[in-house]
Structure 1
Amino acid sequence: MKKRIALFMAAMLAIGTLTACGGSKASEEKTTAEETATEETTGEEKAAVPELELIVAHNQTSLENPYAFGTIKFKESVEELSGGKIHVTLHHGTLGENESELIEKLSMGAVSMVVASPGFMTAIGVPEVDMFSLLYLFDSFDHWEKAVDGEFGDAMKEVITEKTGNQFKVMGYWSSGVRNFYGKQAITTPADAKGMSIRTQSSAVQQQFWSDCGAVPTTVAWGELYQALQQGVVDSAENDYTSFMLKEHHKTDNGKYISETNHDYTTRLLLMDGNSYNKLTDEQKGWIEAACEAATEEERSVVYKMAEESKAKVIADGATVTEHADVDAEAFKEIALPIQDKFAADNKMEEYLEMIRSIK
């Protein structure tokens, strides 16, 4: 596994992100009163000096993005809980807009925690994680939460830890909303997508789905997608309202027709290097875990709140929306279900798939 990760990641200078710092001590003899005052001051200084420095990054540049709200909440929470003994530096897209760059930095020790989609792990020998990429796997946010916060989510954490040799530890399941189709024309059935090029994620199961719909899956970097839609390099794309609204994809000719396919209730991972985590004290682990819980709750609530606000914004900007009730979701699901079944069988994950289906 370590060799796979080394081959996958580009070589870069390792930067330590967990550093121990000590406090200062009074060195001069003083009167009893002065000694007491000095001890109190020194104690305050020690409490104010961080014992642990964490660098947390995600790939979204807008501070209005849910990732930003989540990571800011983590910083506020862990610094408060630790009384300043843990200090967090945040990077909102400033270390790269491509998730592969962030994963590289996490694996090499240049950052402490990142937010990333699960798909990258398929390239380093964890094909099971692509289960999160299966379309029409979840029917609602409530269904998704019950799955990732329950038996299924716990089981997947163990798979990821074991298969990566503790390289990656899941600290929380975040969301990037529910993804919909948007393009140069609306679609209400799979047949409507026939012949159209569509920018998709790199997941094999997602690309297969759109191929089976008759579309032509295409890979375009997220930071280049606006230009690709504007210039007609791709006919369409798929993402959640907030993400494409913030990038103004709906203002391009090939992005202004939105169809609420609701094909993907997304999962994003708040990841930490498991080996670094294991080196922490129990007290530090407790602070970080509690802060991760608070950050996860905040991120999800912002996702749900912004979904409707973002939809209203794109409509106000002139985009045309085909509501979910007017989309033949069952026709799309008929294509998705066999892909789910085959994936589960190929990866010996029938039990995991049943966990999800049984809680609907």
Structure 2
Amino acid sequence: MQAKKIAAALVAGFTALALSACGNGIAGGGSGSGGGAKTTFRLAFNQTEKHPQYKAAEELGKKLEKATDGRYSIEVFANETLGSQNEVVQNVSDGTVDMMYIAGPVLESFNKDFIVFNLPYMFDSPEAQAKVFADDAVMGGLKTSLEDSKKITVLGALHAGTRNVYNAKHAIKSPADMANLKIRVQQSDSQVQMIKDMGGVASPMGQGEVYTALQSGVLDGAENNETVFNALKHDEVAKYYSYTRHLMIPDYLVMSTTVLKGMPEADRKALLELVPGAVDQANTGLLQYAADSKKASQETGAKFNDDVDVAAFKAATSGLVKASINTPVRQALCDAVQKANAKA
């Protein structure tokens, strides 16, 4: 009997050691209790593994794991595998998905002040945009503005390229060329109005539906940067890409406020200190990715047109800009952008 007790004790001891060595493999939840437990944050992304934002998030996860002695890491789920942005943001809100990249217009639906950065011809350059987004005196209020209502914290704002119009019919040179073209936009009131002002017919739609809609003729075109045009193969079904340069709206890296605040203070601080480096990596990578994407699309037969009356499009959308900057908060954000434009 005594021998059996000793054997049982040894088995229990070895089992405990094995479990301790392996960790508990927690995925999501963000409780971060420490003591050897590992939490893997799930980060949702609606584009491919080739995108610089994907690569930056992967690198962020590796650095976070090192900085927290293995307590936290990040797994990135690309290609809308966790759902569309409008679906996933609700999951981030309730804490069932930890993190995501999200387009500016989606956040605009939760706090209208985000509209300032989504307006046409707001930023003159990526450099000006980066200056604004790196300034906590400008961005601090926006980053925390959704914490009470949606339990979402904005960790950082990223350059998401310059958006232009592409379609299956013809090159776009002036607003007159947009007449009767059904153009996909993000699900945002301001984006719908923008396309109307530019002369087209706005069709709000999720990103995952666009290729089929272009292929079938439900849509004539869309508006996005060169990376999306190529990566999602829109260049196969809408070969006329015209540099209207109408938008430089950002993407945001956001996180469940509940998950973030559930981290031990030191680990939370480590994460927040790593975010600016991830933003810089993604921004730098995107510029080269856009150039490579354009070249790849040209090889498929896509035609890029830079003979565009940008001034005419800017004038056509100026009413939307003026009407949208209608509170002191939005005016202050707009002033900060104009100041950065002047210095960049």
Could you tell me the TM-score, scaled by structure 2's length? 0.85
Which residue does the alignment assign to 1:225?
210
Which residue does the alignment assign to 1:258?
241
Q: Is the 8 A contact 1:138 1:144 kept in 2?
A: yes
Q: How big is the shift at 1:103?
A: 0.6
Q: Is the 8 A contact 1:119 1:202 kept in 2?
A: yes
Q: Is the 8 A contact 2:32 2:71 kept in 1?
A: no
| The one of 89, 92, 97 aligned to 2:78 | 92
Q: 1:358 aligns to what SS in structure 2?
A: helix
| The one of 245, 250, 257 aligned to 1:274 | 257
Instruction: Give the counterpart letter for 1:276 in structure 2.
Output: V
For 2:30 and 2:146, locate their aligned partners in 1 and report how far apart those are by CA, in whole Å: 23
Q: Is the 8 A contact 2:102 2:253 kept in 1?
A: yes
Q: Is the 8 A contact 1:97 1:222 kept in 2?
A: no
Which residue does the alignment assign to 1:37?
none
Q: Is the 8 A contact 1:19 1:53 kept in 2?
A: no
1:294-333 equivalences under 5 Å are 294-323=277-306, 326-333=307-314
Which residue does the alignment assign to 2:106?
120
Q: How big is the shift at 1:273?
A: 1.8
Which residue does the alignment assign to 2:45?
58
Instruction: Give the counterpart letter for 2:158 in structure 1.
Output: W
Q: Is the 8 A contact 1:129 1:160 kept in 2?
A: no
For 1:160 and 1:305, locate their aligned partners in 2 and report how far apart those are by CA, in whole Å: 33
Which residue does the alignment assign to 1:292?
275
Which residue does the alignment assign to 2:326?
345
Which residue does the alignment assign to 2:224?
239
1:200 is the counterpart of 2:181: no
For 2:198 and 2:150, locate their aligned partners in 1 and report how far apart those are by CA, in whole Å: 38
Tell me which stretches of 4 or more aligned residues in structure 1 moved more than 6 Å: none
For 1:222 and 1:230, locate their aligned partners in 2 and report how far apart those are by CA, in whole Å: 14
Q: How big is the shift at 1:358?
A: 2.2
Task: Say which is worse superposed, 94-103 or 311-320, in terms of deviation.
Answer: 94-103
For 1:152 and 1:332, locate their aligned partners in 2 and report how far apart those are by CA, in whole Å: 28
Indicate how the Cα distance of structure 1 residues 104 and 314 shifts in structure 2: closer, same or farther if over 3 A, else same.
same
Q: 1:244 aligns to what SS in structure 2?
A: helix
Q: Is the 8 A contact 2:31 2:262 kept in 1?
A: no
Instruction: Give the counterpart letter for 1:86 in structure 2.
Output: Y
Q: How big is the shift at 1:340?
A: 1.2
1:154-233 equivalences under 5 Å are 154-161=140-147, 164-165=148-149, 167-184=151-168, 185-233=170-218
* Number of residue pairs matched by the alignment: 313
Instruction: Give the counterpart letter for 1:128 in structure 2.
Output: D
Which residue does the alignment assign to 1:8?
none
Q: How big is the shift at 1:212?
A: 1.6
Q: How big is the shift at 1:84?
A: 1.1
Instruction: Give the counterpart letter for 2:44 in structure 1.
Output: A
Indicate how the Cα distance of structure 1 residues 333 and 82 shifts in structure 2: closer, same or farther if over 3 A, else same.
same
Q: Is the 8 A contact 1:213 1:335 kept in 2?
A: yes
Q: Is the 8 A contact 1:259 1:321 kept in 2?
A: yes
For 2:118 and 2:278, locate their aligned partners in 1 and report how far apart those are by CA, in whole Å: 23
Indicate how the Cα distance of structure 1 residues 123 and 205 shifts in structure 2: closer, same or farther if over 3 A, else same.
closer
Q: How big is the shift at 1:58?
A: 1.3
| The one of 84, 107, 111 aligned to 2:97 | 111
Q: Deviations over 1:227-250 (max 9, x none)?
A: 111111111110010112011101
Unaligned residue ranges in structure 2 (runs of 5+) = 1-26
Q: Is the 8 A contact 2:58 2:75 kept in 1?
A: no
For 2:34 and 2:193, locate their aligned partners in 1 and report how far apart those are by CA, in whole Å: 55
Indicate how the Cα distance of structure 1 residues 166 and 281 shifts in structure 2: closer, same or farther if over 3 A, else same.
farther
Q: How big is the shift at 1:197?
A: 0.9
Q: Is the 8 A contact 1:146 1:359 kept in 2?
A: yes
Q: How big is the shift at 1:66?
A: 2.2
For 2:326 and 2:70, locate their aligned partners in 1 and report how far apart those are by CA, in whole Å: 49
Identity %: 24
Q: How big is the shift at 1:155?
A: 4.0
Q: How big is the shift at 1:345?
A: 1.3
Indicate how the Cα distance of structure 1 residues 330 and 315 shifts in structure 2: closer, same or farther if over 3 A, else same.
same
Q: Is the 8 A contact 1:143 1:359 kept in 2?
A: yes
| The one of 65, 80, 91 aligned to 1:79 | 65
